[in-house]
């Protein structure tokens, strides 16, 4: 295959990738979008195999077999609740692959590498390695292998910036002395350490933003590798991925009214006890109710809104919530779901979980659209959502949540709050909503409580 033909096939492949994202913009064409992605990838691989004689067929075949053996079960079996972990793992794999190819390029060319190429290569490797450990840690947090709370220590900002500075300095030294091969592992180790430090301090509530930022990093490192190899397809694919991560990170941080710097360095929720108002401290008591009380309220409701949060997903309550919604709808009740942009653990995650439970997506209402409707809503059922419904975000200037756009569920006539305990949410801030006179707290596992509600409502019907 001639070089020219390969270049043209790469162009077709790049166009397919662009079309792939274009078709992803709406549900109707989205599967075609995925197909375009597959086609673009297939074409890129075929063109490359045609143009370059892969000497180490054993490594190629072995790698592909391992990749297919790992990838197929991950792609086919991972539960929808675990999609964020899968995504974090995929960022880790992608960025490590890019960093390793960078290292291979260096060892192959050193010391006869021009300064520019080596500079990009160093930057690419630092970005790739730090994204690798950062993503591994995000995976561990999402998987519950380590605590979701931020792990902080005094002076950590200084320590992590020093680590990053040292990684960059060893990269600069490598560019200055391309023959000093030992500098590469030093640089890699420092970048790996920095990635770890970056994510260890980030709490669960910030995960949707962090995943998006790591996505952006993974894409950028792939684009940088494209510069090193002068491979334009890699530049296109990498920058599309980088853009996607950046846009999603911006949407997520806007939804939380936080800046990237704040998310990466502030460590909200690190001191839950200090930040939270102790229950009863101000003589406040929450009213707890039973399932029967809620069933009575629901029996008289005309408009009901569900406000689902990640707690719903953890309890796997999405199916039983849909069941309750069906029972209500059968009685002529108007049912909607209020979706906060950061509900769930990655951008758009709640939509996937509700789609899995076959909730019709006409019933899914984004925050901006549903907020004006709360005053005329009879009952809001908050299931496993806490921080995104906390009115302190509007009223208390001293709250870490202050300024974050929330679902205005407190404006509804009645709020039913289903929660395992009176504890604080991811942010470590207690929810003022618990103490509102029109809030009914129902303590218990979301799946169990909603399941009991379904049977109570069914009994009423007959």
Partner 1 sequence: MTPLTSADLEVDLLIFLLSTLLGQELIRHVSRLLHTPLMALTNAISSVSFVAALIVLSEPGSELVSLLAGVAVALAATNIVSGFLITDRILRLFERRKPKK
Q: b vs e for 92-130, b when ≥16 Cβ sit within 10 Å of the residue's Cβ? A: bbbbbbbbebbbebbeeebeebeeebbbbbbbbbbbbbb
Write the CB contacts of 22 (distance below 8 Å, at least 6 apart in sequence): 33
Rounded least distance, CB 450 to partner 1, Å: 21
Angle at which helices 27-51 and 3-23 pack, to 10 degrees? 170
Rounded least distance, CB 456 to partner 1, Å: 28
Q: Which two tokens stand for residue 98?
A: 């890019």
Residue whose CB is less far from partner 1, 54 or 161? 54
Residue whose CB is less far from partner 1, 134 or 245? 245
Residue whose CB is less far from partner 1, 38 or 330? 38
Residue 285 CA, distance from chain mean position: 35
Write the CB contacts of 73 (distance below 8 Å, at least 6 apart in sequence): none
Q: Which two tokens stand for residue 257?
A: 């009214």
Strands (E), 140-198: none
Rounded least distance, CB 445 to partner 1, Å: 24
Residue whose CB is less far from partner 1, 312 or 429? 312
307's torsion region: left (phi>0), alpha (psi -120 to 50) or beta?
beta
- Please pick, among 387, 408, 410, 432, the residue that the annotation labels catalytic: 387
Residue whose CB is less far from partner 1, 319 or 413? 319
Rounded least distance, CB 212 to partner 1, Å: 8
Residue whose CB is less far from partner 1, 24 or 422? 24
Q: Are 407 and 305 in contact (CB under 8 A)?
A: no
Query: What is the DSSP secondary structure assignment for residue 1, as one 8-state letter?
Result: -
Residue 222 CA, distance from chain mean position: 20
Q: Are 184 and 175 in contact (CB under 8 A)?
A: no
Alpha-helical regions (H) of 177-206: 183-200
Alpha-helical regions (H) of 287-339: 291-299, 310-314, 318-330
Question: Rounded to the nearest 5 degrees, what angle is found at the Cα of 321, between the Cα atoms of 375 and 212?
Answer: 80
Rounded least distance, CB 380 to partner 1, Å: 21
Residue whose CB is less far from partner 1, 100 or 166? 100
Residue 99 CA, distance from chain mean position: 23
Residue whose CB is less far from partner 1, 184 or 440? 184
Rounded least distance, CB 22 to partner 1, Å: 6
Rounded least distance, CB 323 to partner 1, Å: 16
Q: In Å, what is the CA distance from 371 to each residue of 4, 137, 173, 410, 434?
A: 56, 35, 55, 10, 19
Residue 22 CA, distance from chain mean position: 21
326 assigned to active site: no
Residue 382: its H or E element:
strand 379-383
List active site positions: 387
């Amino acid at each position: 295959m001639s070089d020219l033909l390969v270049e043209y096939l790469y162009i077709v492949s790049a166009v397919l990738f662009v079309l792939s994202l274009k078709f992803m913009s709406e549900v109707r064409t989205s599967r075609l979008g995925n197909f375009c992605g597959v086609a673009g990838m297939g074409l890129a691989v075929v063109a490359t195999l045609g143009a370059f004689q892969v000497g180490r067929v054993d490594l190629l075949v072995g790698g592909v077999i391992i990749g297919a053996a790992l990838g197929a079960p991950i792609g086919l079996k991972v539960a929808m609740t675990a999609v964020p972990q899968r995504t974090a793992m995929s960022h880790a794999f992608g960025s490590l692959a890019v960093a390793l190819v960078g290292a291979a390029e260096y060892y192959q060319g050193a010391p006869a590498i021009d300064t520019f190429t080596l500079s990009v290569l160093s930057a690419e490797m630092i970005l790739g390695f730090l994204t690798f450990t950062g993503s591994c840690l995000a995976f561990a947090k999402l998987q519950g292998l380590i605590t979701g709370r931020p792990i902080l220590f005094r002076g950590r900002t200084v320590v992590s910036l020093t680590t990053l500075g040292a990684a960059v300095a060893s990269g600069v030294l490598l560019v200055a002395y391309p023959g000093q091969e030992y500098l590469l592992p030093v640089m890699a180790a420092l970048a790996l350490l920095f990635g770890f430090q970056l994510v260890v301090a980030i709490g669960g509530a910030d995960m949707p933003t962090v995943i998006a930022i790591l996505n952006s990093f993974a894409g950028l490192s792939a684009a940088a590798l494209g510069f090193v190899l002068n491979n334009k397809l890699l530049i296109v694919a990498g920058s599309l991925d980088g853009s996607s991560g950046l846009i999603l990170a911006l949407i997520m941080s806007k939804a939380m009214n936080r800046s990237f710097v704040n998310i990466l360095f502030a460590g909200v929720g690190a001191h839950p006890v200090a930040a939270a108002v102790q229950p009863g401290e101000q003589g406040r008591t929450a009213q707890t109710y039973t399932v029967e009380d809620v069933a009575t309220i629901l029996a008289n409701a005309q408009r009901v809104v569900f406000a689902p949060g990640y707690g719903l997903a953890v309890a796997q309550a999405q199916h039983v919530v849909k069941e309750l919604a069906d029972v209500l709808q059968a009685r002529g009740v108007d049912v909607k779901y209020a979706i906060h942009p950061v509900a769930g653990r990655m951008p758009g995650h709640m939509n996937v979980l509700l789609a899995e439970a076959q909730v019709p997506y006409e019933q899914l209402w984004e925050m901006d659209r549903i907020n004006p409707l709360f005053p005329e809503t009879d009952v809001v059922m908050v299931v496993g959502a806490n921080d995104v419904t906390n009115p302190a975000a509007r009223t208390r200037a001293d709250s870490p949540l202050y300024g974050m756009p929330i679902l205005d569920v407190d404006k509804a006539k009645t709020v039913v709050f289903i929660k395992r305990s009176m504890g604080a949410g991811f942010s470590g801030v207690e929810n003022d909503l618990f103490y509102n006179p029109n809030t009914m707290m129902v303590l218990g596992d979301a799946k169990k409580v909603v399941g009991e509600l379904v049977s109570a409502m069914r009994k009423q019907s007959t």
